[in-house]
A and B are shown apart, each in its own frame.
Chain A
């Protein structure tokens, strides 16, 4: 079955540590997105990528980094520069230009201790 796999589902991190969240899709989608969800604030865009080796900052990119070396993979690194990283992170993808519907992964919940 095609879909988006996010791992790990739950992650605990000590302050000052970087952590990488994995996002893999087998849908052959061109575009991939990372969102952060906090209670009462909906989804906020961190980064998105339209094609391999290219990505753009979203509204809250500070303290995060991404890479897009392969079409199917779009990992997100939460760096120690992110002041309040505890949140639910959602990865999404869509086929590409003109295609509208975002398909989401199951999410990763990061807790900083």
Chain B
């Protein structure tokens, strides 16, 4: 079974609008961390936001917020006030604390339209 599932291969959003990128995960480990990374066309992976499984509040970092719904095993990324520079691939990832591996989804390509 896939550890991380991203069901949206591509998304479009109007500049200045908000967009939600979906991510569901699968684990039996009670302790885990969830991450979102941005990959521009240059290829480098840029860390955006982190959510721990025991965190009571949803993580926020500037225009990025993580909508963490533990019972549904979802960790959606919300980008508010989209900018043209947000156009990139976005990857959801998970690390189970009992191991050292990070599992990545297949990514969502976001295009911001002027």
Contact = CB atoms under 8 A, between A and B. Distances in A.
B83 to A, nearest CB: 22
A9 to B, nearest CB: 9
Nearest to A102: B102
Residue with the greatest number of chain B CB neighbours at <10 A, chosen from A40, A42, A101, A104: A42
Contacts of A50: 100
A90 interface: yes
Interface size class of A (residues with CB under 8 A): 20 to 34
Contact of A45 (B4, B35, B101): B101
Nearest to B92: A42
A37 to B, nearest CB: 8
B104 A100 contact: no
A42 B106 CA distance: 4
B102 A45 contact: yes
Contact of B101 (A40, A58, A90): A58
B20 to A, nearest CB: 19
B28 interface: no
24 contacts: A35-B104, A40-B9, A40-B106, A42-B4, A42-B91, A42-B104, A42-B105, A43-B91, A43-B93, A43-B104, A45-B102, A48-B101, A90-B43, A92-B45, A100-B33, A100-B35, A100-B95, A101-B35, A102-B45, A102-B47, A104-B44, A104-B46, A106-B44, A107-B44
